[in-house]
Chain A
Amino acid sequence: MENSPNNIDQLIKAKFDGFAPAPPDHIWSGIEKGISSHPAFFVRYAKPIAAAVILLAAILLGILLFTSQSSNGSVNKLQFTDSVPVSKTLDDPPANNQPATVSATEIIANSEEPENTDVNVPKNEYAETHVASVKPKANSNTGISGNTQNFNNNETTASVNGHVSELSEASSRPVQNSTNEIFTLPTLSLTLNNDLPKETIQHQAYSAQSVTTETNSRHKSLWSVGLYITPEMFFENFDSLQILPSYTLSVEPTYYINKHFFLRFGLGFTYAHDRGFSKINYLSNDLLGTYEDVYDITFDSVDGVLVPTYYTKTTEVWDTARHVTIKEPTNTYFYVQTPLMFGYYNRTHLFNWYFYAGPAFNYMVGKNLEKPVSDIDYVEILNIDNHLPQRSNYYVQLWLGAGIEVKASKHISLSLEPNYRLSFDNFYREQSYKKALSGFALRFGFVYYLK
């Protein structure tokens, strides 16, 4: 063999033709950091999270607006029976010696039907006297403290704190001291209420108590049944596996143990799916074309001219290169879900809030496993590197949730529950995929309160 540089070069080149040592594992980690291609959970689920936040914010805003409007309205109604503001005025005279008159005026101003003052006051002789007396007294420096006997007047307090009938009775009593503005408070309230038609008074009394009654009726409910729709997303993902959102439709009865604690259980049906990743090496063996291969040439002399004759054969060109493709097969699962939650709740007349925790048991009842090569036909598969683990037939989750229920009607509420879920490491069958998984679910529910 000739020892020319070219021979050595070719030999060295040939030595490296197939030289493919395995690189150390840490290199891929460095590349991942350099390219940072894996989007974080919040980036991946930016849209659904944003939608959930907006929805939650809208509901909370609606509740706040509705609550503030209702509370403005209910103050006037409840003033009728609520003794606190008046009693406080009576018991705690302000330092500037004006308040009885001012408080009375405020009460009139805050009254739901202020026109009654103008209309009804003149009809009542007693009220007329005191309305007239209020105005000059507003400028007088007569202290409330100077009439301590009237602060302790049981009849006055009773008439303010008491029922409509008692107020009416108080209004008919003669006044001992007509210049005492302290009497104007109950008297004015009395006049307003006393001059209303009896039906109106009864209606006001009913309205003031109806909210309380309704709330009380809910407080007395021992059972409710909720129908929940739950999209669930997972925080973690594996390198070659994307856990797609799952959806659960469930019916969950709730038993209210006492005024603040409840027990919830139920039955749900979950649709879950995973997207895997498969790398497939194959030979397509496609016919790429043909060419005429010259296998012999002869030369003939024709009339003194050299004429070549080419002998050819048709050669087919087949694709023998290794191809690489990827497939993302999806496995679908159906689970029956049985949660068992223990929780704390608090009810108001407009909405309830609550939080709860407990285990949820999931049993597989059906599955559909997709084959990675389902749509590759007429090829020679050399190797399939499939990374799509199968889920376990049974797994347990721990739920931590909170929620609000907004009253839609007397018996029906709408609920919204953000929910954290921890799945223990029995989620997948394969050992390399066994790790605890965290997830987030947002439950939408219709809750019916049983009588």
Chain B
Amino acid sequence: MIFDKAFIIKLKSCDGKTQKAFYQQLAPKMYGICLRFAGSTEEADDILQEGFIRVFNHLKDFRGEGSLEGWVRRTIINTAINIYKKRIKQGKKTELENVREKNEDNLYIIEKMAADELIEVIRELPDGYRAVFNLNIIEGYTHKEIGEMLEISENTSKSQLSRARKSLQKKLNALKEKEKKRIGKQPK
């Protein structure tokens, strides 16, 4: 998505109509990100709202050197991380889970799942795992970058990702078992 120069100028001049058009254009995509990062739909709503407020309030800082959509995406992700950090400070961080390693084929079940179903699975991950998983696997940040963003060490980021994967596999296995039972119960 490329926003014209005229659009960006109008957006920077705080024109209400342009702001709404901009929001309508990008909000669905950004909401998808929020849902992945958030522990609940309500939290996703908060991230999107707070993120766009930050976007509009700091739009004057956008120098037009890269993609505006990319800039908004980064802002939304930073907002999600800030909310995650706040939750850690409030002591709501979920303890790490002891995950049993299994090397089962989960590709099939992932392929069958819709994105919103997959989000439900990802949402069940502990907060720290989910943040690292999203940042590394989907957004493509390196562990070094993730460490700086989340104020953790690079190694912690790596281990969190590893545990996130295992946790995800565990959940996918459970889903697969559930699916098998459902198919087995069906009359032939």
- Interfacial residues, chain A to chain B (CB-CB below 8 A): 1, 3, 5, 7-9, 11-13, 15-16, 19-24, 26-28, 30-32, 34-35, 37-38, 239-240, 277, 279, 321-326, 385, 387
Question: Is A15's CB under 8 angstroms from B110's CB?
Answer: yes
11 contacts between A and B (CB under 8 A): A8-B106, A15-B113, A15-B118, A16-B138, A19-B116, A22-B27, A23-B27, A23-B48, A324-B2, A324-B21, A326-B21
Question: Is B10's CB under 8 angstroms from A16's CB?
Answer: no
Chain A contacts for B49, CB-based, 8 A: 27, 30-31, 34
Chain A contacts for B18, CB-based, 8 A: 277, 326
User: Known contacts being A28-B23, A239-B17, is A35 close to B48, with CB within 8 Å?
Assistant: no
Taken together as a complex, chains A and B put the C-alpha atoms of A268 and B103 apart, in Å, by 84
Chain B contacts for A7, CB-based, 8 A: 107
Question: Is A31's CB under 8 angstroms from B35's CB?
Answer: no
Taken together as a complex, chains A and B put the C-alpha atoms of A1 and B25 apart, in Å, by 37
Task: Known pairs A27-B52, A240-B17; list 10 more (Cβ under 8 Å).
Answer: A8-B106, A15-B113, A16-B32, A16-B138, A21-B31, A23-B48, A27-B49, A31-B23, A37-B15, A324-B4
Chain A contacts for B137, CB-based, 8 A: 9, 12-13
User: Known contacts being A8-B165, A31-B49, A34-B49, is A325 close to B7, with CB within 8 Å?
Assistant: yes
In this complex, the member of A27, A321, A387 whose beta carbon has the largest number of chain B beta carbons within 10 angstroms is: A27
Taken together as a complex, chains A and B put the C-alpha atoms of A326 and B4 apart, in Å, by 8
Query: Chain B, interface size: which category?
Result: 35 or more
User: Known contacts being A19-B32, A37-B19, is A323 close to B2, with CB within 8 Å?
Assistant: yes
Chain A contacts for B179, CB-based, 8 A: none
Chain A contacts for B25, CB-based, 8 A: 279, 324
B63 → chain A closest CB, angstroms: 19
User: Known contacts being A16-B36, A324-B2, A326-B6, is A35 close to B31, with CB within 8 Å?
Assistant: no
Taken together as a complex, chains A and B put the C-alpha atoms of A278 and B37 apart, in Å, by 33
Question: Is A24's CB under 8 angstroms from B45's CB?
Answer: yes
B60 → chain A closest CB, angstroms: 12
Chain A contacts for B169, CB-based, 8 A: 8
Taken together as a complex, chains A and B put the C-alpha atoms of A3 and B106 apart, in Å, by 7
User: Known contacts being A35-B14, A323-B2, A326-B10, is A20 close to B28, with CB within 8 Å?
Assistant: yes
How many inter-chain residue pairs (CB < 8 Å) link A and B?
Answer: 127
Question: Is A31's CB under 8 angstroms from B115's CB?
Answer: no
Question: Is A27's CB under 8 angstroms from B6's CB?
Answer: no
A18 → chain B closest CB, angstroms: 8
- 8 A Cβ contacts from B125-167 to A: 137-138, 165
Question: Is A37's CB under 8 angstroms from B31's CB?
Answer: no
Return the chain B residue nearest A30 by Cβ: B49
For residue B53, CB closer than 8 A to chain A, the reply is: yes
Question: Is B21's CB under 8 angstroms from A279's CB?
Answer: yes
Chain A contacts for B119, CB-based, 8 A: 19
Chain B contacts for A9, CB-based, 8 A: 137
In-complex Cβ contact of B115 among A5, A8, A15, A35 (8 A):
A15
Question: Is A3's CB under 8 angstroms from B110's CB?
Answer: no
Taken together as a complex, chains A and B put the C-alpha atoms of A350 and B168 apart, in Å, by 89
B26 → chain A closest CB, angstroms: 9
A389 → chain B closest CB, angstroms: 14
In-complex Cβ contact of A11 among B10, B35, B110 (8 A):
B110
Question: Is A321's CB under 8 angstroms from B110's CB?
Answer: no
Chain A contacts for B1, CB-based, 8 A: 321-322, 324
Question: Is B14's CB under 8 angstroms from A323's CB?
Answer: no
Question: Is A35's CB under 8 angstroms from B53's CB?
Answer: yes
User: Known contacts being A15-B118, A28-B20, A239-B17, is A20 close to B31, with CB within 8 Å?
Assistant: yes
Chain B contacts for A387, CB-based, 8 A: 17
Q: What mask results when residues 75 to 114 of chain B are scored 1 for a CB within 8 Å of chain A, else 0? A: 0000000000000000000000000000111110011010
Taken together as a complex, chains A and B put the C-alpha atoms of A11 and B50 apart, in Å, by 30
Taken together as a complex, chains A and B put the C-alpha atoms of A38 and B53 apart, in Å, by 14
For residue B57, CB closer than 8 A to chain A, the reply is: yes
Q: What mask results when residues 44 to 75 of chain B are scored 1 for a CB within 8 Å of chain A, else 0? A: 01001110110011000000000000000000
A375 → chain B closest CB, angstroms: 11
B171 → chain A closest CB, angstroms: 12
For residue B187, CB closer than 8 A to chain A, the reply is: no
In-complex Cβ contact of B28 among A12, A21, A35, A240 (8 A):
A21
Return the chain A residue nearest B21 by Cβ: A279
Question: Is A3's CB under 8 angstroms from B4's CB?
Answer: no
Chain B contacts for A324, CB-based, 8 A: 1-4, 7, 21, 25
Taken together as a complex, chains A and B put the C-alpha atoms of A35 and B19 apart, in Å, by 10
Question: Is A23's CB under 8 angstroms from B110's CB?
Answer: no
Return the chain B residue nearest A282 by Cβ: B4
Chain B contacts for A239, CB-based, 8 A: 16-17, 20
Question: Is A13's CB under 8 angstroms from B138's CB?
Answer: yes
Return the chain B residue nearest A33 by Cβ: B53
Question: Is B31's CB under 8 angstroms from A22's CB?
Answer: yes
In-complex Cβ contact of B48 among A20, A27, A32, A240 (8 A):
A27
